[in-house]
Each structure stands twice: as structure tokens, then as C-alpha cells.
A and B are shown apart, each in its own frame.
Chain A
Amino acid sequence: MSKGLANQNRVLLGLVVLGLLFFLSGPRLPIQLSFTFYLMLWITMAISFNIIYGYTGYLPFGYVAFYGVGSYLTAVLWSRLGIPIILSIFMGGGGGILLSLIFAGTLRLRGIYFAIVNFSCAMALRILIANLPDKIAGGSFGIHLSAIYNPMISYYVMLGVMVLSIVALWRVSISRLGIALRCIRDDAQAAEVMGIDIAKTRLKAWVLSAFFPSLAGGIDAWFSGIIDPASSFNLLITTKSIVYAMFGGLGTITGPVVGAIGLYTLDYIIWGRYPLLNLLILGVMISLLVLFFPRGIIGTLTRRYPSLRRVIL
């Protein structure tokens, strides 16, 4: 291994260790716990969004559905059936996987149609859940989880899930599935002719990308103590996942992390002082990103300095 490569690897490792230390000591830091918690949540969302959009080019414009289903399943299982919260969260994750399998048929649609259908499914789901009998899902007022409120433990569970999502993406990208995904992204027809089953590969990425946001939704329900249809199925959750992942750089691992850290921090600061500006900035960012900066930070960096590609993944 060349000296330059070894140094770059060391830097990356150092950054990872620093990051871990930062998050591990979250509750002790003089920063609001909710900031660090949601930072981890958005890293998780951006990372797993990247699995489907960055690696297959399919834009699930209803991505929030996984988060919403996870949060609702968790809340309902815990509050109506008395299932312990951590198990409920896990089952919420399972619910997300189930949802992705149910809608697996939409993967055969062309890009734009997939986006529209996915969006419609999410919105329909939100209305249906909001109109379920109050006994089951709490109607438009939602469900309280205040009895089990425990910011400390839920924080660390989120940390665990975030690390898991990053490791999952890393393992996938160096695995055969990752190679297959990148081949399909590079030249789908060539991939097919080489024996790669495009439909099955896409499905694997799709199901994997559904797991983590569902978990995140459940953990968020626990951390914040309350859920309702409007916030659990808020379209801005999809929007932010798109923007954070794109800004950082799709198709890489570091990209979504960098994007989420940078933009969520910005979001937090601005929202604190100028709440209405958030929507405006998000809108401007999406348009500008798509038009002028589609590769994001990491993508542009690796273009300028191709040797970074080996390290940055």
C-alpha cells in the first residue's frame, strides 16, 4: 500500500473514531441532547435512502412511509398490546420490511412512475392511518408514549441503529450485492447480459433501505414521546433525506454522513431562529442541487482527486 493511501486511511479512521467518541458522549456534552439524537437519526435516514436512490437510481418519493409505519407500529404495539418498547421498535422495523415487500411490484416501473406511485402509496397510507378508529391508532391526535419516556436509553439505541446502518451500507458496497448494484447503475443492459438479475438485485436494495428508516421511526416515537399522522408521515422527511444524501454525495458511504451532518446542523441553527426560512432553503437547495451540483460534495471531490476514491468509498 502506498504511503499516501495509508495516510488517507489513517485520517479516515481517525475521523470515524472521533465521530464515535462524540456520539457516545452525547448526553455529557454541553449540547442539547435532541440535537445529537436527531443528527444520528438523519445520518441513518440519509444513509439508507442512499442505498436505494444512490445505488439503483430509483427515487422513493414516499420514503417517509417506512418511517411512519415504523413509528406507528411501535406506538400501537407498545400502547395497545403492551409489548416492551424495544421489541416493538424491532417489530416496527419488520413492518417496514413487510411494506417494502408488498410494494416490491412497483420496482418494475420506470423511474418517474415509481416515484409518483411510491409517493401516492405513502400519502394514501397516511390518510388511512389517520382515519383508523381512535382506539387503534389514535386518529389525528396520535398516540402518547410519555409513560415510557427515556431520552438516555433511546438515544443510545439510536446510536446503535445508526452504526448498524453505516456498517450495513459499507458491507453491502464491498459485497457482491454492491458490485451488482454498481454494475446496474453503470450500464443496466451490460449487467443483464452478464447474468445479473436486475429485478432481484433491486429488490434486495429496496428491502434493505426500508429497514433502517422504520427502526428510526420507532426510536423517534420513543424519544419524543408522541406521534401523530401529520408528523409521522410528513413529506419533509422524504425531502430532507433526499437533500442530505444528494448534498453529501450519492452512491458513497461518506457522502450521506457528511451531507446529514452539514445540513442538519444548518437546519437546527436556522430553525431555531427563523422557522419559516427552513422550507424556503430546502426548496432552493433541492433545485440548485439537481441543476448544478448533482454529485454532491463527495462526488465532486472524488472527481477532482480520483485517488480519493479508494479511501472514501
Chain B
Amino acid sequence: MILTVSNLTKRFGGVVAVDHLSFEVKEKEILGIIGPNGSGKTTTLNCINGVYRSDEGVISFEKRSLQGLLPHEIAHLGIGRTFQVPKIFKKMTVVENLLAPVLDSRESDAALRQKALQLLEEVDLALLKDNLGEELSGGQQKILELTRILMFDPKMILLDEPFAGIHPLLRTKFHEMILSLHRKGTTFILVSHDLPSLYLLSSRIIVLDNGRKIAQGSAKEIQRDDAVIEAYLGA
């Protein structure tokens, strides 16, 4: 197990966003998380990432507790994260965006730049390297956000709605990126409403509703699960 979440609870005022949630992530797997709006998916990612401090529960990564760690410390442990609306640096160039995660690295500027350019080549963004983040299209920004994480060779990547609002060609490209990274040994947690993509990529899926886990299993099992169907169609 690379990540263990036990009894995770997060409250906002009177609302319990995540309610004693427990699950595990196997090393090198792609875990999907689905659930209706407001079921606590993004909040869970935020807790793993350190953006929120959990009220109860323990999260451990590679047997090490993430309790009380700040987001940048968690990033240094090898956990990367993308957001529903891509959080790239708008007023900085594409290359500078890629350098951001590795500013603490001992490698030389030249070496880092070369690595950045190489990654940009692989995703066909090399020509835009001196453009500002805000000059990129939405789809390009999503790619940039993911590529940026690759600069520090993450062990685990948390993807929050990566397929939201991108057109089919780009979606396929994303699938390829994720699968190729997966082959190289990266673990993924994939939060998405895009069920087809999820079924395609994930080995295992957990379903959240109202902050609780209501089902888990393979794609096939989930599709037939009554509780899941009710959660999506009911209420």
C-alpha cells in the first residue's frame, strides 16, 4: 500500500464533507473515485494534499503520516496534484511554470531547462515555451498542469476532474499520458465524473456519497451496484 486513509473526517461548520472515510491505494495502481456532486471527492484530495487539515483520521503515505505537514512538504514527498480548474501560473512563461516545482533541486539551471524542454516536446507544447500561461487554451493549460508535475518525478499523482471540459481528441491524449506514466510506475488517484474514462483507466473504483464510501470494486462491479445507482439517480 502506498497510501492509507483511515477514518478521514473533515467538517466545514455544520457540514460534514468527509465522514470517517477509509480506503487504501496500492502501489502503481490507478484508483478512481466517483460520486455525485458534493460527495467529498475534492475535499478528500485536498486533505491528502495538505490543502485542508483533516479534523479526524490518519493519512499515511509510504508508511509515513502526513498529519500536520504543509502542502509543500507533501509535494516534496512525491505527491503531485492537479485541479479542476487548472492552476497554472498565468503571468509566467510555460518554461517558468515547469521550473516551479524543482526550484529546490540541486541540479543546474541548464539541466532543469533541458528536462523541461524535453517534457514539453513530448506533449507538443515546445513551441509555446516562452508564451505566458494565460495565453494557452484551456486544454493546453490542463496538459501543462500535468506536465509540470512530471518535473519532480512524482510517485503518486492526484488528478481532480482532468477530463472536465476538454474535447475528445485531447481526452484521448490525456488517457495516453496517464497510461504511459502508469506503465513507468506512477500511482494515480483519479477523481472524475467522466465514467467512461474512469472505467477505461482505473483498476479499482471507490464510490463516495455524502462523504462516505458506499461501494468499491472494479468498473464492472460498480456499474451494477445498487447503492451506486441510487446515489446517482436518487436524491
Q: List A residues at the B interface (Cβ < 8 Å).
A: 176, 179-180, 182-183, 186-187, 189-198
Contacts and interface: CB of A to CB of B under 8 A. Distances in A.
Contact of B51 (A182, A183, A189, A191): A189
B108 to A, nearest CB: 11
Contacts of B71: 189, 192-193
The size class of the interface chain B forms with chain A is 20 to 34
A245 to B, nearest CB: 19
B87 A187 contact: yes
B101 A179 contact: no
B90 A186 contact: yes
A195 B92 contact: no
Contact of B88 (A179, A190, A197): A190
Contacts of A198: 72
Nearest to B158: A193
B72 A196 contact: yes
B97 to A, nearest CB: 8
B211 to A, nearest CB: 23
Nearest to A191: B100
Contact of A193 (B81, B91, B99): B81
21 contacts: A176-B109, A179-B92, A179-B96, A179-B100, A182-B89, A182-B96, A186-B89, A186-B92, A190-B83, A190-B89, A192-B70, A192-B71, A193-B49, A193-B72, A194-B101, A195-B75, A195-B101, A195-B103, A196-B103, A197-B70, A197-B72
Contacts of B149: 194
B103 to A, nearest CB: 4
Contacts of A189: 51, 71, 87
A192 B72 contact: yes
A186 B88 CA distance: 9
A196 B148 CA distance: 13
B89 A183 contact: yes
A19 B226 CA distance: 77
Contacts of A193: 49, 51, 71-72, 75, 81, 87
B233 to A, nearest CB: 35
A306 to B, nearest CB: 8
Contacts of B96: 179, 182-183
B152 interface: yes
